[in-house]
Amino acid sequence: QFNVTSYDATAVVIITFEAFAGMWINAFIVSVICMSWVRKKTLYCNEKILLFLGCSRFWYLCISWVYSFFSIIYPHFLYVLPTLQLFVSIQSLLNYSNIWVSAFLCVFYCIKIANFQNSFFIYLKVKIDRMVPWLLLGSVFFSLVIGTIVYDVTDKAFCKNLNFTCQQCIWKASIRVEEHFSPIFFITGFGFVTSFMTVTFSALLLLFSLWRHKRNMQTNSMKDLSMDTHIKAMKCILSFLVMYSINFVFLILTLIYFPRRQSYVKLLISVFLYAFPGFHSLILIVSNPKLEKKMLGILPCVKCKVCMR
C-alpha cells in the first residue's frame, strides 16, 4: 500500500534531481581520469584522490537515493531483514569515505601549494606522494570499521522491535535514540568534527600562504597573469571552506533531527546534503584545467543534440 503525501512527493522530486545531477558530475570526473589513466598508463596523486572521491560520491548518491526513495514511497521494503541494516551500513561507509577523502584532498593541496620554511612541512611536501595511497587505504579501513559498527547497532535495535510492522510505529515506539544509537552518534560526530577541523586548518594555512605570496608579488610588481592564478586559487579554497563549514552544520543537524520522519527542517537538511557531493565536485572540475576543458568540450555537443531534437 502506497500512501504518498505532498511532502513525500516534493522530497522525492528534489532528492532525485540532486542525486542524478551529482551522479552525472562525479561519473564525468571518474570517466575523464580513467581515460587519462588508460592513455598515460599512470596517474598523478591528485588524480588518484579525485578518482577515489568521484567513485565514493557516485555510489553514495546512488545508494542514498535508493534508500530515500523506498523509505518515502514504500517503507515496508526496508524492514525486511537485513535490507535496512545493509543500506544504512553501506551508506555510512560511503559517506565517511566521501568526507575523509575530500579532507585528504584539501590537505594534499595545502602541502603541495603552500610554502612554509618549516622542516616538518618540507618533509611532508617531499613524502606526500608516497603517503597518498596509504591515506586512501586508511580511509577505506576506517570507513569499513564505521560501516560494521553501524550494521551491528542497527541490527540489534531492529531485532528488539520485530513486533512493529510499519515505519511510523517503529519510530514512535522502538527508537529510544539515546539507548540504541548513541554509540553511532558519538562516532559519527567525532568523525565529522575531526574531518572539519582538518579541512579548516589546511584551508586556512593555504589561504595564508597564497595571500602572503600574492602580497609579495604586488610588492615586486610581478606579472598580472600569475596574480590572477593565485586569486583564482584563493577564491576556490575559500568557497570550499565555506561549503564544507555549511555541510558540517547540516551533518550535525542530521543527528538532531534523525528520529523525526516528516519535518521540513529534515527535508532542508536532505536537500543540502544531496547537493554537496555534486556541487563540490563541480567546483573541483572548474578548478582543474584538464577537467574544465573536457567539460567545456562536452557542453556544446550536448547543447547541439538538444537543439536538433
Which position has the higher pLDDT, 260 or 5?
A: 5
Q: For 19-24, which contacts have Cβ atoms below 8 Å and span 24 or more sequence positions?
A: 19/61, 19/62, 19/64, 19/65, 19/68, 19/274, 20/65, 21/278, 22/57, 22/61, 22/274, 22/275, 22/277, 22/278, 22/279, 22/281, 23/58, 23/61, 23/62, 23/278
What architecture is domain 6-308?
Answer: Up-down Bundle (1.20)
Kindly list the domain boundaries of the chain, sorted by start residue: 6-308
What distance in Å separates the CA atoms of residue 158 and residue 174, rounded to the nearest whole number? 8
pTM over 0.85: no
Provide the 8-state DSSP code for 226.
H
Give the whole-angstrom CA distance, residue 108 versus residue 241.
15
Write the CA distances from 119 to 115, 123, 125, 202, integer angstroms. Answer: 11, 6, 10, 17
In degrees and rounded to multiples of 5, residue 199 shows phi and psi of -65, -45
**CA pseudo-torsion sign 257, 197, 90, 187:** negative
Look at residue 167 in the predicted model and tell me its pLDDT. Answer: 43
Q: Please state, in angstroms and rounded to a whole number, the distance separating the CA atoms of residues 304 and 308.
A: 6
* Average pLDDT for the chain: 77
Please give the residue that has the higher pLDDT: either 299 or 192.
Answer: 192
Lowest pLDDT segment from 13-17, 164-168, 233-237: 164-168
Q: Choose from 68-82, 122-136, 158-172, 256-270 the range with maximum mean pLDDT.
A: 122-136
The 10s digit of each residue's pLDDT in 137-186 is 988 888 888 888 888 877 776 666 554 444 444 444 344 444 556 667 77
Phi, psi of 53 (to 5 degrees): -65, -45
Q: Are 106 and 92 in contact (CB under 8 A)?
A: no
How far apart are alpha carbons 252 and 37 in whole angstroms? 37
In 103-119, which positions are buried (b, 16+ CB within 10 angstroms) versus exposed (e)? bbbbbbbbbebbebeee
pLDDT digits 0-9 by tens, 88-101: 888 888 888 888 88
For the cut 60, the answer to whether the pLDDT of residue 301 exceeds it is no
